[in-house]
Amino acid sequence: MKSDKISEAVVRRLPVYLRYLNELHKREVTTVSSQELGQKLDLNPAQIRKDLAYFGDFGRKGIGYDVSYLIEKIRQILKLDQRINVALVGAGNLGHALSNYNAFLKDNMKIVAVFDAHPAKIGTSINNLTVQPMEELERTVRDNAIRIGIITVPDFEAQNVANQLISAGIEAILNFAPIILKAPAHIRIHTADFTTDLQSLAYYLDNGKEESAHEETQVDG
């Protein structure tokens, strides 16, 4: 299992599989086929089988995947069986929204500290965390073994915040500012700019209309 053989696209799909598998598990479904996964997740079943085969031989022909086993495996692969501490920088609306996300409390991944550069924000409380000044970033990251940083500051402040996170020892950044951050190659950066999601949706708008005239409408699920 070499990381450099697995494309980012595959790694990004694993949490999506995991989310649906958890949903199946809650409904006490014990096995699932790649066809069913594909239909639910809008992906080609062959693609799903290929993705999961990177990590081992999980499926059984004619039966499908064991839901519990696959959940456990994907959690291991994504290292969600470890405790991972996260710092959030930017205590605005988006920062509030993210820190309230209840999904966070699962999987041992947790925002343990919130920072902001603006005096009016410092000392206020978000989701039981007190907003700290940027001057405390380095010490807090070290003392709490924080490994991931989330950036929700305005774009013109984002590169500066990224630099501070990196020099504090952060290994990966989830960036919500609509700019491309510069960072050393060993720092992993994902940009979660929702405008790119919207723009890729626009691509499908007219096509959807043309196609729906030719196709029968299928109701999924």
CA distances from 180 to 135, 169, 193, 199 (A): 24, 20, 10, 17
d(CA 179, CA 199): 16
d(CA 177, CA 150): 10
- Which of 33, 38, 41, 133 is close enough to bind its own copies by CB under 8 A? 41
Angle (CA) 129-180-153 rounded to 5° is: 25
Please indicate if the annotation marks 90 as binding a ligand. yes
CA distances from 197 to 192, 193, 200, 203, 204 (A): 9, 7, 5, 10, 12
| 211 contacts 218 by C-beta, under 8 angstroms | no
Please indicate if the annotation marks 160 as binding a ligand. no
- Which of 60, 79, 139, 142 is close enough to bind its own copies by CB under 8 A? 79
Residues 137-156 that bind its own copies (CB under 8 A): 147-148, 150, 152
Would you list the DSSP string of 15-67? HHHHHHHHHHHHTT--EE-HHHHHHHHTS-HHHHHHHHHTT---EETTTEEEH
- Least distance to its own copies from the beta carbon of 137, Å? 19
Please indicate if the annotation marks 94 as binding a ligand. yes
Residue 46 sits in the site that holds its own copies (CB under 8 A): no
Residue 220 sits in the site that holds its own copies (CB under 8 A): yes
What secondary structure, in 3-state letters, does 150-163 show?
EECCCHHHHHHHHH
Q: Which is nearer to its own copies, 64 or 149 (by Cβ)?
A: 149
- Least distance to its own copies from the beta carbon of 29, Å? 14
Number of residues that bind its own copies (CB under 8 A): 83
- Least distance to its own copies from the beta carbon of 165, Å? 13
Residue 27 sits in the site that holds its own copies (CB under 8 A): no
Residue 94 sits in the site that holds its own copies (CB under 8 A): yes
Name the one range near its own copies by CB under 8 A: 25-33, 58-66, 132-140, 190-198.
Answer: 190-198
Residue 185 sits in the site that holds its own copies (CB under 8 A): yes
Supply φ then ψ for residue 64, to 5 degrees.
105, -155
- Which of 48, 52, 77, 146 is close enough to bind its own copies by CB under 8 A? 77
Residue 186 sits in the site that holds its own copies (CB under 8 A): yes
Please indicate if the annotation marks 100 as binding a ligand. no
* Cβ neighbours around 69 below 10 Å, total: 13
Q: Which is nearer to its own copies, 91 or 122 (by Cβ)?
A: 91
Annotated binding site for NAD(+): 90-95
